[in-house]
Structures are given as C-alpha cells and as structure tokens.
C-alpha cells in the first residue's frame, strides 16, 4: 500500500469518535443544490447540526450510481451553472469558519480527468479537501487517481458492496485510506436500507482485511435506522433523504425558501440523536 505521509482530518475525526465510543454521522449534499448561496449556507451549517464528516457531491451530467433524488439534485445544481471551480470555492469558504470537520468530495472521474489528476488533487487539498470517493475508477486503475491522491495527502476512499467477496476485498482495500464505505445494498443510492444482521456480517468481513473504520450507507433515512446501523459500523452515511429534504423545501419555481436550510439541518440533528444512541 502507498502510505499517506500526513494524518488527515478524517483520521483524526474517526480516532476521536472511537475514543468517545460512537459512530460518525456522515452526511452528503450535492454542491450547488439548489443554488450556490443556499448550498453554501447548508454546508456551513452541517457541523453544528451534528455532522461529523461531510460528503460534498461533485455535480456531473451522468451520475450513473445515483437514484432519483441525487440525480435531481445534480440537475438543479448544473441548471444554476455550477462548476468544479465553484465546488472547490465552497470548500475554501467553509474552511474560513471550520478547520476541523472533514470534507470528502464524492462523484465521478470525468470532471477530475479533464483537469488532470495531480493538478486536481493539489488544488483540492489546498482548498481544504480531505478525501475523495470516485465511484467509477476501479482498483485496477489505482495509478490513475488513487495513488496521486494519496501521494498528494488526500485520502482515497473505496466502496465495497454485498457482492464484494473475500477474494475481491484485498484488491479493493489495497490502497484505500481514511475509511471504507460499505454500500449496504445492491443498486443505486436511496434504495431500501439493509438489515442489521447483514451489515454486521459485512463489517466483520471488511475488518478482517483492514484496520480502517467502516462507514455504512445507502438507504438510511431515519434516526432509528441510523441507531441500528451505528451499533455495527464506525460511521453512518446519509444522503438521499437530505437532498430530498432540499427538494421538498423549494417553492413552485424550484427556488430555495426560508425553510430550505432548516429542512436539512433539522433532519441531520434528528439523525445525530440516533447515532448518539448507538454508542458502543
């Protein structure tokens, strides 16, 4: 494995939470949804609402792994002219107020490829990005982005799934850092949540191959689900329900209202209560 030369905010956060005996609440929003100003306000408010790690979606025109809620969020963002430059600026602006909460950029390789992997990693790290989740770069192509990210001081977080077996896991985990993201169900984001028994078995399997924290996502929508999954995982990832909350808060013209930020932060706060109850 290519080793990180530095400790990242992700490493520090999971170590801190492990000492506290509770899982991390990992929250996802799409950058620029529903517009840049509203999205920045939501991003800035997430830590106080209860988010321990933030995944910030990089809008892309062909989000193949996403369900309808995140597809629509991406469309709203792109319709307002959102770009990668604006995503990175959102992180810079966030860092003016918060230098502790980890931010992970999540999305697809195309917008990174056109900038050049090494150049993108350098710019992302300087902006304050701590990790990358890029769902369409396989482990067999680690030289493409994973290794440049690690060498640039940015965690590269891999996805595993119910279909990732003992034989495949070592390949997937070889250069993974920060944490492992276990996709608890097959299919797209926002699908039904997995049962706790299958999650427990999957986390144990992953931990038999890696010392990294394991965060579990896809389909978690309630505080009760967060509590149950949090009993077995080091992190609980919530995304589709948050971007759906944004959609439902918009006016008839699809514009943000004075309820948009609260729609997300109130939900994050309730999910945090669930995670707190999962203390080990």
Query: Which range marks the domain in which residue 254 is found?
Result: 24-277
Domain count of the chain?
Answer: 1
Can you spell out the DSSP letters for the chain?
-PPPSS--HHHHHHHHHHHHT--EEEEEEETTSS-HHHHHHHHHHHHHHT-SEEEEE---S--TT--HHHHHHHHHHHHTT--HHHHHHHHHHHHTT-SSS-EEEEE-SHHHHTT-HHHHHHHHHHHT--EEEETTS-GGGTTTTHHHHHHTT-EEPPEE-TT--TTTHHHHHTT--S-EEEE-SSSSTTPPPPPHHHHHHHHHHHHTT--S-EEEESS--SHHHHHHHHTT-SEEEE-HHHHHHHHHHS-TTS---TTHHHHHHHHHHHHHHHHHHT--
Residue 5 lies in a domain: no
Residue 1 lies in a domain: no
Q: Quick one: which of 278, 277, 268 has its CA closest to 26?
A: 268
Residue 2 lies in a domain: no
Residue 170 lies in a domain: yes
Among this protein's residues, is 227 annotated catalytic?
no
Q: How far is CA 33 from the centre of its chain?
A: 15
Q: What is the pLDDT of residue 2?
A: 53
Q: Which of 7, 20, 48, 55 is catalytic?
A: 55
Mean pLDDT by 10 residues, the chain (280 residues): 72 97 97 97 98 96 80 91 97 98 96 96 98 94 95 95 90 94 68 73 94 93 94 95 96 96 98 91
Q: What is the pLDDT of residue 67?
A: 79
CA dihedral 206, 209, 211, 215 (to 10 degrees): -20
Q: What is the CATH number of the domain that holds 41?
A: 3.20.20.70
Q: Which of 7, 66, 151, 276 is catalytic?
A: 66
Residue 19 lies in a domain: no
Residue 130 lies in a domain: yes
Among this protein's residues, is 55 annotated catalytic?
yes
Q: What is the pLDDT of residue 188?
A: 46
Residue 10 lies in a domain: no
Residue 176 lies in a domain: yes
Q: What is the pLDDT of residue 66?
A: 75
- Predicted model pTM: 0.94
């Amino acid at each position: 494995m290519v080793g990180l030369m530095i400790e990242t905010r992700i490493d520090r956060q999971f170590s801190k939470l492990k000492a506290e005996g509770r899982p991390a609440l990992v929250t996802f929003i799409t950058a620029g949804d529903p517009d840049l100003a509203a999205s920045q306000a939501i991003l800035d408010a997430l830590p106080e609402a209860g988010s321990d790690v933030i995944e910030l979606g990089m809008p892309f025109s062909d989000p193949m792994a996403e369900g309808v809620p995140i597809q629509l969020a991406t469309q709203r963002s792109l319709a307002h002219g959102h770009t990668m430059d604006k995503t990175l600026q959102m992180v810079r602006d966030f860092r003016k107020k918060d230098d502790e909460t980890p931010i992970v950029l999540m999305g697809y390789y195309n917008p990174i490829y056109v900038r050049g992997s090494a150049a993108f990693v350098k710019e992302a790290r300087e902006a304050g990005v701590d990790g990358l989740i890029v769902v369409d770069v396989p482990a067999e192509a680690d030289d493409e982005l994973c290794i440049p990210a690690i060498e640039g001081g940015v965690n590269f977080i891999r996805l595993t799934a119910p279909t990732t077996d003992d034989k495949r896991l070592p390949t997937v985990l070889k250069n993974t850092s920060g944490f492992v993201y276990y996709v608890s169900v097959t299919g797209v984001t926002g699908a039904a949540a997995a049962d706790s028994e299958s999650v427990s078995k999957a986390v144990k399997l992953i931990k038999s191959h890696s010392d990294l924290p394991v965060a579990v996502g896809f389909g978690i929508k309630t505080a009760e689900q967060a509590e149950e999954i949090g009993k077995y995982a080091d992190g609980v990832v919530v995304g589709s329900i948050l971007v759906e909350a944004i959609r439902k808060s918009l006016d008839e013209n699809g514009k943000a209202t004075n309820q948009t930020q609260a729609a997300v932060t109130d939900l994050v706060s309730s999910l945090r209560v669930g995670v707190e109850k999962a203390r080990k």
